[in-house]
């Protein structure tokens, strides 16, 4: 069996570098808006989980609350140990008998002050059990959609996909459309993006290829989302626009609390509660 420890370290280092670049770009946007808001970083350690193992690894929660980014979180985590035995069977390559795992990743959610600026989610990750694989993606969540923004967002991720797999974009776009759907509302959470999981690494060449694609996903996000923010952040908005934003935030919260696999994985593996739930909006409404 391959020792994935050095590969986990490489992936973790990249995720931290990406985090630093994203946070710097978000802070630069705040400066352009006349705000001195900056990220506050809170380290955490993995807690023990019932039926698993004790504290192993942890991460850092980064949070900014500013003039443009009403609430944006960029989290880094690198954890390992044993999955709770009643949960292990739901994870690729794990079981109650073989419940050892490691995971490293970056997770980002931004809720914006101006309803013309879309909310966004992005994450990429590398996990090992008896198997090793990459997953991740990004999706755009505008309360007031603009075709230009949607097209630009998808075009950036299509370019990233096309450079690594001829069928990647169509597959991963369809996966996002299926995954980011709220069955009880019969609506999608936003205007989509890409979502992929279980890009398995049978050997080092496969790992390198999947890692290169995962890095391309992070670069695509960093290239496209700040452009969209700068295009929309100065637009005037009405109380009706704000009301629509708050209603869509409620739907975002419903999805993350009821259906999101990442939320469940964090809670079941002893993650930091505040880091896991940083995806929830600062305000939302339900009729």
CATH no. for residue 241? 3.40.1500.10
Contact 146, 228 (CB under 8 A): no
State the pLDDT confidence band at 33, using cuts at 50, 70 and 90: very high
Q: What is the pLDDT of residue 112?
A: 98
Report the number of distinct structural domains present in the chain.
Answer: 1
User: How distant is the alpha carbon of residue 258 from its chain centre?
Assistant: 16
Closest CA to 228 of 168, 138, 165, 163: 138
Q: What is the pLDDT of residue 40?
A: 97
Interval 37-60 mean pLDDT: 79
Q: What is the pLDDT of residue 229?
A: 98
Is residue 221 situated within a structural domain?
yes
Is residue 165 situated within a structural domain?
yes
Q: What is the pLDDT of residue 225?
A: 98
Contact 50, 69 (CB under 8 A): no
Contact 156, 223 (CB under 8 A): yes
Task: Kindly tell me the sign of the dihedral angle through the C-alpha atoms of 252, 258, 264, 270.
Answer: positive
The mean pLDDT of the chain is: 93
Q: Tens of pLDDT along 228-281?
A: 999 999 999 999 999 999 999 999 999 999 999 889 888 887 778 888 898 999
**Is the pLDDT higher at 46 or at 10?**
10
DSSP string, 175-221: HHHHHSEETTTTEESSSEEEEEEEEE-SSHHHHHHHHHHHHHHHHHH
Is residue 284 situated within a structural domain?
no
Alpha helix (H) residue ranges in the chain: 5-32, 85-88, 147-162, 168-179, 204-232, 239-258, 261-268, 273-276
Interval 15-27 mean pLDDT: 98
Is residue 286 situated within a structural domain?
no
- Identify the three-state secondary structure at position 18: helix
Is residue 202 situated within a structural domain?
yes
Catalytic sites, residue numbers? 121
Is residue 287 situated within a structural domain?
no
Is residue 51 situated within a structural domain?
yes
Q: Rg of the Cα trace of the chain?
A: 18
Q: What residues contact 13, with CB distance under 8 A and at least 6 apart?
A: none
Q: Is the pLDDT of residue 53 over 60?
A: no
Q: Tens of pLDDT along 57-103?
A: 889 999 999 999 999 999 999 998 888 787 878 888 778 888 888 99
Q: Tokens standing for 135?
A: 């997953």
- What is the span of the domain harbouring residue 65? 5-279
Q: What is the pLDDT of residue 56?
A: 78
Is residue 285 situated within a structural domain?
no
């Amino acid at each position: 069996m391959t020792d994935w420890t050095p590969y986990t370290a490489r992936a973790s280092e990249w995720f931290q570098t990406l985090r630093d670049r994203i946070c710097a770009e978000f802070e630069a946007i705040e400066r352009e808006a006349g705000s001195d808001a900056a990220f506050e970083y809170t380290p955490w350690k993995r807690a023990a989980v019932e039926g698993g193992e004790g504290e192993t690894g942890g991460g850092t929660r980064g949070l900014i609350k500013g003039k443009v980014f009403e609430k944006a979180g960029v989290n880094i985590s690198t954890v390992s140990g044993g999955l709770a035995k009643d949960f292990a069977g739901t994870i690729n390559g794990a079981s109650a008998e073989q419940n050892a795992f490691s995971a490293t990743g970056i997770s980002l959610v931004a809720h914006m002050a101006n309803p013309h600026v879309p909310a966004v989610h992005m994450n990429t990750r590398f996990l090992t059990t008896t198997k090793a694989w990459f997953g991740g993606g990004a999706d755009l969540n505008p309360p007031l959609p603009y075709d230009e923004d949607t097209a630009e967002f998808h075009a950036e991720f299509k370019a990233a996909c096309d450079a690594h797999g001829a069928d990647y974009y169509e597959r991963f776009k369809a996966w996002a459309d299926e995954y980011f759907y709220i069955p009880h509302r019969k609506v999608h959470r936003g205007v989509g993006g890409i979502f992929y999981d279980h890009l398995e690494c049978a050997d080092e060449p496969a790992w390198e290829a999947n890692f290169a694609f995962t890095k391309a996903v992070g670069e695509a996000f960093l290239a496209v989302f700040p452009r969209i923010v700068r295009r929309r952040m100065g637009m005037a908005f009405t109380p009706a626009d704000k009301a629509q934003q708050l209603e869509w935030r409620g739907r975002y919260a419903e999805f993350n609390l009821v259906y999101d696999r990442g939320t469940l994985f964090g809670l079941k593996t002893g993650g930091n509660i505040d880091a896991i739930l940083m995806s929830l909006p600062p305000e939302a409404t339900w009729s």
